Chain A
């Protein structure tokens, strides 16, 4: 980053552009019509690619027969919302919704509450063992599900926690808690340390500083960590498929798979359910996505 900066201050009429004859005089960030056309072309193509699989799912969900996905042309003439009404009335949709929400919210609450003080401690204090502790937190990010799934299954079945919401929440916390601590550290780092000092000068203990001054300021960061935990728990497949046995306790991730069994594949219903799940999930996501990225790369974009 130690690029030698030209000392001449950029004046308003930008003489520099005129002194470079072979290149066109235009401001930084603006491009010629051809380049801009190409940019738009690529971006439109990328947007279509991003959109298409989801749009296709929505389209297929309107076809009433389970094999309509093979001849989608026929859907136009017989488009119907029957799949949706069937899913809402005759399947375990609302049970699955309840399970997904219970498990995801449980993970979110526990994850953020437990991780908050740790995030603060590793952001502000350098205690002996700090580096090892951070390494441990990073290490938990590397855990393939395969490492934990067998022992967790054994432990939970001994504790009679298979097929229970609590069991699944506990399993998810194993990854959610360290991850939240990471995220929150990044956010706490962006809060000026002078605030802590002011608190200390006014006679607050570190706990007092944290609770009274930092936590209120860190609400956006806490929200980011909460969103992440929620989304991760909501979309998790492996543990949910293995640990939830009764079909009223399935989360959406498992419930969707249950439409396709060896004997029967109700693809139309599956598509409708998928759309019903995707709409609130992506609406929620759109509200938070900008904060999500800032939160995740808070430490990175600063340097």
Chain B
């Protein structure tokens, strides 16, 4: 692959001749790569203007005590100047070890970790199981696949409302449980069952993507490997363990990373399922949103600080994940 790439950029021409002076080299490097830089410029500009600038501005806000009462705003015809002031790292200190920091940050932090781990594990195992079933020569498997993609096809904000109707006290789920003489939990009110319901809905919504990705991975595994394994007398489990799983490695590592990032940042499901009613089921993202926009006065500074902490957690996690993959001689597919 690399060979073709180098040829495509004209590296062969660049390699001609002995090593030259620094200015010449800079010039030739410019001549060699200016196409690449010109081509990535639009995205660099967009990233700079729409991502990095807001990020820097957000970081600045975390060092202040900005809220909706002291930022610049317009009431009627009156322009009110911003009056917030610089307070250094107090916001971070307050969030991480200030009074009641357990209730405001650490309890949500723990729940976010549990939520992410539970959801991604369920997504992956159920998705893999269904993908394996769909990968068999089976009558009607196209039909099954179409049906099971449905949760992904319908926009989340629509399906979550469907779930709300079902989970409501007196909704179909509790009616069914009552019919079976099972206990009927208050799904949308009781703290434990709120969390349970959130995981359930998110699992339902997230499995199709995993299933389809892993199905794609399964179909790309060379069939002759299975034949060879079968001839060697490998059992079904051994074929799964030594052919299927290694064949899925690069797809798995990618979808698991994406799954973790998406679940960690999953906003819509919890926000739409509970609105402002369930403080215990809020993960860090929805909690940060609530600080910034779901209360009065809006605490912009703390909300932004939560955001920065979230980003930091994800960056650290992804770095370790990549390093771990590299050590295992595996590449991230994306």
Which residue of B166, B213, B310 contacts A146 across the interface (Cβ within 8 Å)? B310
Which of the listed residues B7, B150, B151, B166 has the most CB atoms from chain A within 10 Å of its own CB? B150
In the complex formed, the residue of A with least CB distance to B43 is A118
Which residue of B227, B233, B318 contacts A10 across the interface (Cβ within 8 Å)? B227
Which residue of A53, A257, A282, A289 contacts B272 across the interface (Cβ within 8 Å)? A257
Complex Cα gap A139–B54 (Å)? 15
In the complex formed, the residue of A with least CB distance to B155 is A235
Interface string of B11-52 (1 = CB under 8 A from A): 000000000000000000100010111011011001100110
Q: Are B157 and A253 in contact (CB under 8 A)?
A: yes
Q: Are A49 and B293 in contact (CB under 8 A)?
A: no
123-170 of chain A: CB within 8 A of chain B? 124-128, 133, 136-155, 157-158, 170
Q: Are A125 and B155 in contact (CB under 8 A)?
A: no
Provided the pairs A114-B43, A120-B39 are in contact, do residues A197 and B154 lie with their beta carbons within 8 angstroms? no
Q: Are B36 and A149 in contact (CB under 8 A)?
A: no
Q: Are A114 and B36 in contact (CB under 8 A)?
A: no
In the complex formed, the residue of B with least CB distance to A236 is B268
104-161 of chain B: CB within 8 A of chain A? 129-130, 133-134, 136-139, 141, 144, 146-159, 161
In the complex formed, the residue of B with least CB distance to A238 is B267
Q: Are B213 and A297 in contact (CB under 8 A)?
A: yes
Q: How many residues of A contact B (CB 8 A)?
A: 117
Complex Cα gap A29–B139 (Å)? 12
Q: How many residues of B contact A (CB 8 A)?
A: 119
Q: Are B165 and A267 in contact (CB under 8 A)?
A: yes
Within the complex, the shortest CB–CB distance from B92 to chain A, in Å, comes to 14
Provided the pairs A16-B230, A182-B334 are in contact, do residues A285 and B153 lie with their beta carbons within 8 angstroms? yes
Provided the pairs A36-B138, A138-B334 are in contact, do residues A297 and B251 lie with their beta carbons within 8 angstroms? yes
Q: Are B156 and A235 in contact (CB under 8 A)?
A: yes
Q: Cβ of B151: which chain A residues have Cβ within 8 Å of it?
A: 50, 53-54
Q: Are A293 and B216 in contact (CB under 8 A)?
A: yes
Complex Cα gap A150–B301 (Å)? 8
Complex Cα gap A47–B162 (Å)? 17
Provided the pairs A281-B154, A289-B149 are in contact, do residues A118 and B231 lie with their beta carbons within 8 angstroms? no
Within the complex, the shortest CB–CB distance from B155 to chain A, in Å, comes to 4
Complex Cα gap A151–B300 (Å)? 9
Complex Cα gap A60–B165 (Å)? 9
Q: Are A5 and B212 in contact (CB under 8 A)?
A: no
**Which residue numbers of A lie inside 8 Å of B, CB to CB?**
1, 3-6, 8, 10, 16, 20, 28-31, 36, 39-40, 42-44, 46-47, 49-51, 53-54, 56-57, 60, 69-72, 114-115, 117-118, 120-122, 124-128, 133, 136-155, 157-158, 170-171, 173-174, 177-178, 181-182, 186, 193-194, 196-197, 200, 205-207, 210, 231, 234-238, 242, 252-253, 256-257, 267, 270-271, 274, 277-278, 281-282, 285-286, 289, 293-294, 296-297, 299-303
